[in-house]
Each structure stands twice: as structure tokens, then as C-alpha cells.
Structure 1
Amino acid sequence: MADVPVALIHVTDVRRITPRMARITFAGDGLDAFPTWPDQQLKLLFPRPGQSAPRLPDVPADGDAMRWYQAFCALPEDERPWMRSYTVRSYDPDRQRLTVDFVLHGGFVLHGGAEAEATTGPATRWAATAAVGDTLARYGPAADYARPLPLGTADWLLFAGDETALPAIGSLVEALPPGTRALACIEVANPAEEQRFTTAADLTVRWVHRDGGAAGPGDALPAAVRALPFPSGSVFAWLAGEAGTVRTLRRHLVEERGVDKRQIDFAGYWRRRLTQDDAPTAEDLAEARERIEAAPTAQQ
């Protein structure tokens, strides 16, 4: 198993870029040689109530990532940090700063951060009240997991996802070379949640607004993608967001649009009524096997 770095990180800046998205910047050990690439994933560790910083195992991160993770899981549950997956929105090598965008859910949006609904998770609770000087820990990323841009030989690119996919989509489209044709279909709550991307690519963005018309995030996206007029030529698709929605989109592209499965990169970032602490479902496991067995043509 690859050596995965573990280190404490400290908040240096907090900005609310939209009503439901907080952009938080971190400094910390190891960010002078931080491996970076578009759509880069890492784990963030959030402190339990009463902790000023996440408790980490005494086992050093000395190259044996499995040994460290086993020690992490052995911590008492009420002391063990919550671990959540996030996308690196940007990295500044000159200032050695790491930036992550957090989607804010539940009561923190509706009540301006004063209260939290029972369904609000620990990451949202932390991000909604984060301040300069607050401390998290990071687990990763490891350079061994770096992935190239999803370009391949397709004539154009399709990006589709809900607001949880925005950080990854932003990092991807901003890294595209000039002349790349790309279409992004992104579902957000309302027009206030739209973001601007700086890119050299020929990018068209179709925003899908729930505005109370859908039951929850991801519900409006499949119909919007089905209604998209596709440009001519071959397509490579990148899909992310709620796991069930991603499966629906993938079936549509394969069965109704005739897209080769190898031309689709996909990831279920979250699951309805389940968190990352819950065991994977049979569909989750099948999806993971398929991703491993059939890597997209664009990333070979």
C-alpha cells in the first residue's frame, strides 16, 4: 500500500463564495512538497466535540499506511476523528497553501450558521463555523494515486454533477488546454449557487436549478442531461455526485446515447440516508469493482 502522508493543517482563510459553499484555505507541515493534479482527492479528519484538534494514532506515518490506518480504527470511537473525502480545489506552491471547498447543508444554510439540523454531518458543522487558526488533519494525498486529465481521443468532454462535484469540475476545466471542447451540466440549489470558471477551453456550462422543484440534490440532473443536445463527434464523460444519480446518468449515456463504458469516468461522492461511516452497499461494491476492472480509455 502506498505511503500516505498524515499531518495537521491549520485554517488561514475562510470565505463564503456562495450561500451554500465555503472556501477554506489551510497551511501545515508537508505542503512544501504537496503532490497536485486536477480532481485530486484527499481525506480530512475532523475533531470530535471537546477536541481542539483531531486525535491521531501514536503510530508514525512511516510508509506503512495500512499499519497507520489500523491504529486509527483502534482509537476509541468517541475520540476517533471523523474522516471524510474531499477534493482539493487548488494548491498554491509559492505560499504552500491548500484550498478546499465545502458544501454547506441543512440548518447552517437556512439559519445563517446559528443552528444545525439533526441530519447535518460533522464536516458541515465544522465548515459552517470554521475560523482562522482552527485545526484539522489530512490523510493524503499520495503521489502514487495521481491521475492525468480525462482527455483521451474524444472530440469533446461532458462534465455532469451536483454541487458536491463543483470543486472537482472547477479544477478539471481550469486545467484543460486551449481549444478543448467541453460541456458541463451542473445542478445547484438556485442561481445564487452558480460559480465562474477561468479556463482556456471552449467551455459551455448549463446550470440546473432545483429551486424547491426537486426532492433533493441530484434529483433534477438526469432529466437535464437527457435534454442536452450533444455536440457532434465522440464524447468522454466525467460524472460525479449522489451515487444513485451517477448510476442513472451512466445508464443513460450507455443505453440511450451509445457511449462506450470505457469513455465514462464516474464517482458516487455521497449516498442518500447514508454517510461515509456506513458500510458500502452491494451497488457500491459492484461499482468499485467495475471502476477497477475497466479503467476509462482516457486515463490509460
Structure 2
Amino acid sequence: MTLLQTLLRATAFKSPLLRTLVPSVALAYGIQTAVAVPSIAAQTERYYDLSGSLTYLSCTALSLFLPYLRAKNAGTITGGVAEYLGSKGLGQGTWWWRQALLSAAVGIWATRLGTYLFKRISSDSGRDSRFDSIRGTPSKFYVAFFAQATWVSLCTLPVVLVNSIPRSAYAASAFGTAISARPYLTDILGLAIFVFGLAFEVTADRQKDAWVQAKKEKKHSEEFLTHGLWSKSRHPNYFGEATLWSGIAIAAAGLLVRQPAQAALGLSGSAASQMLVTGMCAASPAFVSFLLLKVSGVPLSEKKYDKRYGDRKDYKKWKEETPMFVPKFW
């Protein structure tokens, strides 16, 4: 028996949801622990954010391909990925586009943010002020990696749930009315919100980068950024991040509450069951918003800038006129 077969057998739960969710979560904590050990030994956070992106990509990819690997191992399909993705016997076309698109959405965001943060910390001598008080204490430093694994697990939950839906749920005769390969309204709405949030986050980051670079070149003497999206929100990048995860959650929940998806996942299809999957999807943007608003994002930035510029009238005016999080466009 190969290692892959052993792992598939060890996680062969009765519930299709658990068969995908448990390995994905285990992988998140495994990767973060593997990165934490040398990072703690070297007392460096240089690869912290980059490892977070790697964990996002790995867990999403695993959840995407696990159903295929299980079908292949069980002998349900004898060919390769092309046969698995084919529509033969399903009665409809490209059934897997939601899984691919939502997984790609996570991949695009994780790759963009991970490389952006890695470039930033590399230009700052590999130091991040968030870790100044914990870098020298192994137990506290590990908690940061443990928290990142939890962050990844909760954020990717909607996508993992969608990826865990068996292929048979798209067959017209499997569970009565099959999941349609055509977009639902929630698909369109969720993906549109994701694109808006991603564009908002990227634009905010680029505006700040351009402002910082211009300051280094002595093209201005401003102490804090107050134009562009930063005149609409004091933390537009964080708003964009919370928004894009909300879009993913909406698209996922809109699919998971439907009866064919409920039946395929071994759920009852009752109102309580629908509320369960909706709540699991909502946990993603809710946790992101909690972290950004209460833990590591907004509080740290506000505290740092209040300490530096709290006595300045122009800073006070900017804070009074500019919303902290949700942008004001009027």
C-alpha cells in the first residue's frame, strides 16, 4: 500500500465533507509547524507571510484534487483527470467550473499578497514590528504560526466545502434535480464582490507603494497618506480583503444550500442544515474581519500612527473626516 493510499484510507470518513475538510486542515497545521521550527530557531519572521500564502495554495489545491484521487483509488474512474472532469454520464457540460474558479480566486489572492508582503519584509531587513515582542520567545512565536494555520483553515472553509461536493451531485439522476452547470445568481454576485474587493485591495496597496517610493525620492514631504482610496477609508486595503472573502462566501453558500449539494454531502437539506453550511461559509469573512478590526490589522496601525501623529491637527482632521474601515464615497 502506497503512502497516498494509506492517507486516503485514514481519512475515508463516511461524510464527503469530512473526507476533504480534515486532510485540508491537517495540511495547514502541518505546513505551518514545518515552517515554524526553523523560523523559531533562527528567530526570523522573514518567511511567515510567504508560508501563509503557500499554505493557502496547498490546502486549496489538496481540496480540489482529493475527490479525484479518491475516485481514482476506488476504481470509480480508470482514466486520468480528463476522464474525471468529463461530462459523460452527467447530462451537462463543464460541471467543475465553480470549484476551479473559487480555487483560482484563492490562489490569485494568496499569490499576490504573499509575494507583495515578502518583497516588503525583504526590503525591511527581514523584520516585522508585529513580532518584536514575541520573536525571542519560542512558545509565543509558535502561537503566531498556529494562528496562521487557523486563519487559513477558516478562510478557505467555503472553498473546501464546495470542493468536497462529489461529482455525482452534478448528474441529473443522482439526487433528483442536479446542481446546474449554469451560473446561479449567487455565483455572479459572489464573484463580482470578490473582484471588487481584490481590485480595491490591490489598488490601495499600489497607491501606498507609489506614495512611499515618491517620499523616498523626496518628491513630497507628507507624513501619512491621505489621497486616493486612503481619502475614502483609513484602511482601504483591509476593507478590500474582508470584501473579497465575503464574495467567496456568498458564492459558496449559494451553492451549498441547494438540495442536490446537501444530499451529496450527506446533509438533511433542512433549514437547520442550510443554516449550518451558511454559517460555515460566513465564518470566513467574519474571522478575517475580526482579525483585521480587533487583532493584527487596524488596531496596530491606528496605535502606531496615533503615537506618531496624534498631536497634529492635520492628522486629527483626516481621522475625523475619513471612515476607519468602510469607505465613504459621497
Q: TM-score, normalised by structure 2?
A: 0.28
Q: Which structure shows the higher helix fraction?
A: 2
Q: TM-score, normalised by structure 1?
A: 0.30
